[in-house]
């Protein structure tokens, strides 16, 4: 919601809240997350049980001071604590014997592992996984199999890392890159991802080989695949039907192929030299999305049945993340189509330069309630509007479209001052539209007696910024009235100003100047400072550079309308509003 009086919504506040413990419940051991300062921000129920402490007693506490102890229960300095040293170094570490203080004042022998972990969108932390030492010993020797290079703790850490890496992006391609980076070369030296498209076609999306410290994508092995057979017993066909995970090798596909997919699999094994493969379905709660194949050509050891549960777990987490990303991208495509139809093309006004920008908030549906408009009126004046309907979703966008169309109708049909047109609009909002509240600047610009004259009224919106070509910048604070939708019937003021030759007028929404942790005045001062410094730039460059310098990244959507009067010789009129 635009305007100095607006406050951040619960949704906006929740975006900065710590990750809850829900993601940790699948770890299967005691687990907690600490932020960059070492304070606990999330904990699972297993950790609560082992530590005899509730989540309320743990969250917010310094983990080292609260939990870490020596063999006799004595507090440890940071230099004595191996976990603390690894935490500060930002590297994985583990210990087979250490001690945590429980809530009942007893001492818990533990074995632990830590690994870097993403706490928030742009903030790193550390994941701590631990067992009681007695439990770890009682578990007996670990079964030997092909993935024996991973300890039990490393497996748990890999699953936790898979969850945080894949759920922290809503881009399908980025999610696939992260998935490959998690399993190659840690588990295999080849990774193959086959995805089922929304048209039920199979596409071999990635064939990736470990090459030293890097990854090589083999595009010649990627591309469209034959359809999934309905009853084939071959491993990939079964995985793509969501039936089961299976082991495979070159010998699996030496027999006469029963489908086109089997032919492609034989080609894959021959081209890559994979001698041992494990194939797991990638599925969400709603559908089968594809299959993940891990292959070993040069990496020691062959996969065994004991490896499949880990691979299935990784593929299942990948499926949930990919499904979320696909849903988001579908919603985004719908929203972008709406946006292209809702935000208008600017009219050509002889003598005036005009440009617009719209930047959607990254966490919204790629469209929202911020809008701009400009259109020619029946008396040859040009109408300008920038507004903000409360909300950041498709409902807000629909409300914005209603408001914009009504404003156009009133402005065209009635040759009245800006204030009267906005009064009529305000009267109609509650009975006619779904808009709860909105802010708006509505203005008219007209070439009169050799000068460009601007008249406007402001309904609870942030003030326009006027910048002379010499870099003098001031906000046009006159004409300010109540926002729309309050239900208060009050007359609205008008304001008028003569625009100097070569000046730049900036109309904008609050996303350009509001940022968490900063006051609105700070944002307005920043906008004025940079606009003044850029006054000599061509209009397109001015606008792009202003957005780059001023716009807080990733918080709110922005609508921006910028116009410039022509450069003429002679004395420039003053900036003061009449």
Please state, for a pLDDT cut of 70, what percent of the chain lies above it: 84
DSSP symbols for 325-372: HHHHHHHHHHHHHHHHHHSPPPPP-TT-EEEEEEE--TTTTS--SEEE
| Token digits of residue 440 | 């708006």
pLDDT range class, residue 83, cuts 50, 70, 90 = confident
Question: Which pairing describes strands 480-481 and 451-459: parallel, antiparallel, or unpaired?
Answer: parallel
Q: What is the pLDDT of residue 17?
A: 35
Q: What is the pLDDT of residue 119?
A: 65
C-alpha–C-alpha distance, residues 67 and 78, integer Å:
12
Q: What is the pLDDT of residue 265?
A: 95
Q: What is the pLDDT of residue 306?
A: 85
pLDDT over threshold 90, residue 305: no
CATH 3.60.40.10 in the chain is located at: 344-564
> Does CATH number 3.30.70.60 belong to domain 344-564?
no
What b/e string do you get for 87-105 counting C-beta neighbours within 10 Å, with b at 16 or more?
beeeebebbeebbbbeeee
* Torsions phi, psi for 484 (to 5 deg): -85, 145
Residues whose CB is less than 8 angstroms from the CB of residue 409 and which lie 6 or more positions away in sequence, other chains included? none
SS3 569: coil
pLDDT over threshold 60, residue 201: yes
Helices (H) and strands (E) in the chain, counts: 15, 24
Of all helices (H) and strands (E), which one includes residue 409? helix 394-413
With 0-12 / 13-18 / 19 or more C-beta atoms within 10 angstroms meaning exposed / middle / buried, residue 230 is: exposed
pLDDT over threshold 70, residue 166: yes
Q: What is the pLDDT of residue 121?
A: 55
* Torsions phi, psi for 358 (to 5 deg): -135, 120
Question: Are 454 and 445 spatial neighbours (Cβ–Cβ below 8 Å)?
Answer: yes
By residue count, the chain amounts to 578
Question: Are 345 and 355 spatial neighbours (Cβ–Cβ below 8 Å)?
Answer: no
Tens digits of residue pLDDT in 490-516: 899 999 999 999 999 999 999 899 888
C-alpha–C-alpha distance, residues 373 and 343, integer Å:
7
C-alpha–C-alpha distance, residues 553 and 548, integer Å:
9
| More confidently predicted of 74 and 461 | 461
CATH 3.30.450.20 in the chain is located at: 19-140
pTM: 0.50
User: What is the fold, at CATH topology level, of the domain defined by 169-332?
Assistant: Beta-Lactamase (3.30.450)
Q: What is the pLDDT of residue 497?
A: 96
pLDDT range class, residue 169, cuts 50, 70, 90 = confident
What average pLDDT score do residues 526-548 get? 95
pLDDT range class, residue 577, cuts 50, 70, 90 = very low
What average pLDDT score do residues 10-23 get? 42
Q: What is the pLDDT of residue 146?
A: 45
| More confidently predicted of 81 and 6 | 81
C-alpha–C-alpha distance, residues 319 and 282, integer Å:
5
Most confident of the ranges 148-152, 335-339, 454-458: 454-458
Tens digits of residue pLDDT in 27-42: 667 889 998 888 999 8
Return the residue matching tokens 């606990």: 40
Say if residue 7 is preceded by a cis peptide, omega within 30 of 0: no
Q: What is the pLDDT of residue 570?
A: 38
Residues in a beta bridge with 288: 283
pLDDT over threshold 50, residue 221: yes
Q: How far apart are the first and last CA of the chain?
A: 29
pLDDT over threshold 70, residue 574: no
Tens digits of residue pLDDT in 231-257: 898 999 999 999 888 999 999 988 889
Residues in a beta bridge with 107: 101
What average pLDDT score do residues 252-266 get? 92
SS3 131: strand
> Does CATH number 3.40.50.970 belong to domain 19-140?
no
* Torsions phi, psi for 467 (to 5 deg): -125, 125
CATH 3.30.450.40 in the chain is located at: 169-332
What average pLDDT score do residues 228-233 get? 90
C-alpha closest to that of 482 among 490, 494, 474: 490
What average pLDDT score do residues 364-390 get? 84
pLDDT over threshold 80, residue 159: yes
C-alpha closest to that of 128 among 61, 186, 188: 61
With 0-12 / 13-18 / 19 or more C-beta atoms within 10 angstroms meaning exposed / middle / buried, residue 569 is: exposed
pLDDT over threshold 80, residue 192: yes
What b/e string do you get for 526-560 counting C-beta neighbours within 10 Å, with b at 16 or more?
bbbebbbebbeeeeeebbeebbeebbbeebbbbbb
Q: In 118-213, which residue ranges form alpha helices assigned H by DSSP?
A: 133-138, 152-167, 172-183
Question: Are 20 and 42 spatial neighbours (Cβ–Cβ below 8 Å)?
Answer: yes
Tens digits of residue pLDDT in 449-489: 889 999 999 999 999 999 999 999 999 999 999 999 888 88
Most confident of the ranges 10-14, 168-172, 175-179, 323-327: 175-179
């Amino acid at each position: 919601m635009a305007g100095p009086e607006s406050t951040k919504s619960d949704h906006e506040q929740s975006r900065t809240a710590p990750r809850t413990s829900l993601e940790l419940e699948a770890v299967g051991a005691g687990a907690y997350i600490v932020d960059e300062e070492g304070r606990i921000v999330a904990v699972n129920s297993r950790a609560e049980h082992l530590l005899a402490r509730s989540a309320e007693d743990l969250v917010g506490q310094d983990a080292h001071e609260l939990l870490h102890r020596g063999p006799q229960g004595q507090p440890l300095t940071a230099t004595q604590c191996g976990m603390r040293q690894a935490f500060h170094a930002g590297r994985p570490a583990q210990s087979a014997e250490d001690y945590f203080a429980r809530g009942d004042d007893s001492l818990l022998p533990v074995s632990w592992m830590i690994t870097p972990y993403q706490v928030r969108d742009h903030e790193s932390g550390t994941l701590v996984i631990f067992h009681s030492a007695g439990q770890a010993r009682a578990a007996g020797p670990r079964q030997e199999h092909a993935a024996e290079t991973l300890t039990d703790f490393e497996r748990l850490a890999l699953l936790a890392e898979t969850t945080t890496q894949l759920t922290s992006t809503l881009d399908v391609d980025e999610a696939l890159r992260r998935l490959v980076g998690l399993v190659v070369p840690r588990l295999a030296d080849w990774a193959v991802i086959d995805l089922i498209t929304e048209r039920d076609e199979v596409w071999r999306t990635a064939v990736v080989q470990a090459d030293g410290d890097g990854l090589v994508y083999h595009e010649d092995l990627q591309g469209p695949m034959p359809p999934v057979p309905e009853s084939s017993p071959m491993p990939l066909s079964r995985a793509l039907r969501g039936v089961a995970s299976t082991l495979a090798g070159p010998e699996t596909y030496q027999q006469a192929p029963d489908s086109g997919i089997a032919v492609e699999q034989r080609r894959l094994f021959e081209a890559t030299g994979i001698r041992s493969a494990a194939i797991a379905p990638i599925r969400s709660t709603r559908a089968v999305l594809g299959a993940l194949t891990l292959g070993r050509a040069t990496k020691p050891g062959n996969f065994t049945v004991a490896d499949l549960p880990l691979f299935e777990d990784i593929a299942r987490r990948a499926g949930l993340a990919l499904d979320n990303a696909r849903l988001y991208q579908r919603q985004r495509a719908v929203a972008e189509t709406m946006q292209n139809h809702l935000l208008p093309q600017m009219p050509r006004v002889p003598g005036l330069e005009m440009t617009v920008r719209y930047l959607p908030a990254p966490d919204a549906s790629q469209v929202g309630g911020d809008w701009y408009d400009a259109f020619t009126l029946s008396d040859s004046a040009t109408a300008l509007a920038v507004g903000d309907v409360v909300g950041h979703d498709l409902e807000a966008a629909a409300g914005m479209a209603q408001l914009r169309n009504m404003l156009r109708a009133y402005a065209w049909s009635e040759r009245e001052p800006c204030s009267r047109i906005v009064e009529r609009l305000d009267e109609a909002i509650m009975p006619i539209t779904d808009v709860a509240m909105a802010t708006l600047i509505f203005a008219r610009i007209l070439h009169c007696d050799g000068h460009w004259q601007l008249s406007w009224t402001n309904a609870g919106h942030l003030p326009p910024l006027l910048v002379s070509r010499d870099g003098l910048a001031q906000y046009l604070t006159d004409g300010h009235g109540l926002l729309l939708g309050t239900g208060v019937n009050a007359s609205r003021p008008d304001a008028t100003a003569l625009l100097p030759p070569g000046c730049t007028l900036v109309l904008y929404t609050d996303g350009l100047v509001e940022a968490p942790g900063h006051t609105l005045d700070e944002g307005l001062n920043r906008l004025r400072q940079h606009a003044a410094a850029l006054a000599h730039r061509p209009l397109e460059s001015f606008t792009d550079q202003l957005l780059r310098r001023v716009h807080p990244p990733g918080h709110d959507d922005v609508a921006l309308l910028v116009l410039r009067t022509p450069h003429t010789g002679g004395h420039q009129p003053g900036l003061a509003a009449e």
